[in-house]
């Protein structure tokens, strides 16, 4: 089976790493297309040269190391006819059995191109789908309409979390077109290493005995790293390491100055892989109350204690009365919960003499082997279905659904 994965330029971690874990394990002939924004006009040519992104380049290199062929194509916007034409040509030449799209822009353009090229089977993974924001875009009627029109051109949308599956249903995607396959990690990639810890802390300028609290994620308001900066002001002698970049970085730096902890807050920026940074930390903290918590799973695999506001996989264990050792869920309405939990974990660290906890796994459900096996079974299932080559009919079918399923909070017509 020949599979073409189409992904928008991925940031560090997230969808790019999920794709890497998947491609490594799928027993198929996998190729990958990365849709990159234009960097500059190439003299004498009608199309732009794809731009480069350090994180995307790192993912591309990792995919090539796994034996996948990686293509780079320019996509200047979500509605880019030129990108669709280039994708269609690539798909015609490649004669793929399955096109699997990842992230919004790639899903819109990839599904249209796949249908125009006559690819028999089209799958999408929805990695991020917020109630109000979709990969940095406000969920406007136009964004939602374009998404749903593209959805009709595929066969199945893989929801990477129960929350995403629920949101797809709220938008009007039928149950039979949704498959819930959770995000996953490879725990072996996050094994703690003392030498890596020493080297990374030295590079960051953190002395060996200084307690280091860490957080990982895109620096944006919804992640609530502001709570973490305020909390570290109440944890004497500890430093805070924030791994990631984003639009809120400048405001977070100002907040650190206001709180008087600028000398104790380190901004590492975006990294291709978090293992080194996790090795350098002593406690992991996630104040985001709307996250799936993949970074938390990576942290506990590295042997870190973790305090968190939300993490559905860990919450499943709490419900089953089998909480993962060294994890602490924050009280949602208690602002003192975070600094109190950090102080408690650092006290436990001191009582252990600085010893690392063993790496822990929540469940095999969230391991990369399970992810690949589930996706592989999905491919086989849709391959048994009749070939679909229609383009116009699915879009006409969507036209009626658009009136029945408005944006959340809007009025339902013709229900």
pLDDT tens-digit profile of 278-308?
A: 999 999 999 998 889 999 999 999 999 999 9
Residues recorded for the chain = 415
Instruction: Check: CB of residue 147 under 8 Å from CB of residue 104.
Output: yes
At 372 the pLDDT is: 96
Phi, psi of 125 (to 5 degrees): -105, 125
Identify the band that residue 147 occupies on the pLDDT scale cut at 50, 70 and 90. Answer: confident
Please report, in angstroms and rounded to a whole number, the separation of the first and last CA atoms in the chain: 41
Query: For the purposes of burial, counting CB atoms within 10 Å of the CB of 304, is it exposed (0-12), middle (13-18) or buried (19 or more)?
Result: buried
User: Region 312-328: what's the mean pLDDT?
Assistant: 93
Phi, psi of 179 (to 5 degrees): -125, 125
Instruction: Check: CB of residue 279 under 8 Å from CB of residue 200.
Output: yes
DSSP for 345-393, written as a single string: HHHHHHHTTTPPPPP--S-GGGBHHHHHHHHHHHHHHHHTSPP---SHH
Domains, the chain, in order of start with CATH, read 2-184+368-404 (3.40.50.2000), 187-362 (3.40.50.2000)
With 80 as the cut, is the pLDDT of residue 56 above it?
Answer: no
At 396 the pLDDT is: 47
At 77 the pLDDT is: 85
What is the rounded distance in angstroms from the CA atom of residue 265 to the CA atom of residue 225? 11
With 90 as the cut, is the pLDDT of residue 131 above it?
Answer: no
User: Region 339-350: what's the mean pLDDT?
Assistant: 97
With 60 as the cut, is the pLDDT of residue 406 above it?
Answer: no
At 259 the pLDDT is: 97
Identify the band that residue 369 occupies on the pLDDT scale cut at 50, 70 and 90. Answer: very high
The tokens of 70 are what? Answer: 């990686």
What is the rounded distance in angstroms from the CA atom of residue 216 to the CA atom of residue 111? 32
Average pLDDT, the chain: 87
What is the rounded distance in angstroms from the CA atom of residue 55 to the CA atom of residue 242? 17
Percent share of the chain, pLDDT over 90:
68
With 60 as the cut, is the pLDDT of residue 410 above it?
Answer: no
Identify the band that residue 87 occupies on the pLDDT scale cut at 50, 70 and 90. Answer: very high
The model's pLDDT over 204-213, given as tens digits with 9 standing for 90+, comes to 999 999 999 9
């Amino acid at each position: 089976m020949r599979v073409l994965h189409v992904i928008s330029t991925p940031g560090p971690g997230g969808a790019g790493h999920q794709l890497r874990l998947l491609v490594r394990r799928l027993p198929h002939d996998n190729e990958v297309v990365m849709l990159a924004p234009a960097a500059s006009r190439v003299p004498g040519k009608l199309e732009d040269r794809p731009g480069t992104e350090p994180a995307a380049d790192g993912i591309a290199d990792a995919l090539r190391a796994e034996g996948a062929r990686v293509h780079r194509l320019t996509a200047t916007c979500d509605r880019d006819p030129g990108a669709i034409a280039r994708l269609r040509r690539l798909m015609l030449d490649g004669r793929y059995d399955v096109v699997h799209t990842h992230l919004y822009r790639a899903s819109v353009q990839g599904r249209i191109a796949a249908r125009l090229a006559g690819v028999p089977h089209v799958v999408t993974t929805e990695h991020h789908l917020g109630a109000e924001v979709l990969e940095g875009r406000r969920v406007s009627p136009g964004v939602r309409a374009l998404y749903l029109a593209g959805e009709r051109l595929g066969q199945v949308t893989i929801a990477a979390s129960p929350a995403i599956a629920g949101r797809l249903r709220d938008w009007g995607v039928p149950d039979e077109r949704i498959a819930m396959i959770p995000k996953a990690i490879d725990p072996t990639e996050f094994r703690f290493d003392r030498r890596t810890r020493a080297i990374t802390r030295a590079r960051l300028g953190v002395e060996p005995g200084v307690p280091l609290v860490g957080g990982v994620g895109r620096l944006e308001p919804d992640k609530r790293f502001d709570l973490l900066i305020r909390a570290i002001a109440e944890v004497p002698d500890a430093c805070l390491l924030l791994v990631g970049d984003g639009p809120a970085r400048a405001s977070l730096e100002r907040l650190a100055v206001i709180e008087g902890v600028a000398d104790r807050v380190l901004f590492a920026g975006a990294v291709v892989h978090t293992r080194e940074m996790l090795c350098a930390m002593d406690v992991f903290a996630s104040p985001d109350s709307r996250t799936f918590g993949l970074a938390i799973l990576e942290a506990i695999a590295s042997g870190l204690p973790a305090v968190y506001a939300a993490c559905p996989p860990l919450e499943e264990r709490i419900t089953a009365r089998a909480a993962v050792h060294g994890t602490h869920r924050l009280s949602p309405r208690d602002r003192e919960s975070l600094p109190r939990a950090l102080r408690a974990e650092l006290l436990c660290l001191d009582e252990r003499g600085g010893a690392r906890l063993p790496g822990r796994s929540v469940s095999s459900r969230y391991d990369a082997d399970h992810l690949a096996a589930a996706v592989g079974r999905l491919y086989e299932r849709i391959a048994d279905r009749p070939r679909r080559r229609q383009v116009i009919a699915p879009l006409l079918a969507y036209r009626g659904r658009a009136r029945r399923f408005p944006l959340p909070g809007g009025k339902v017509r013709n229900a």
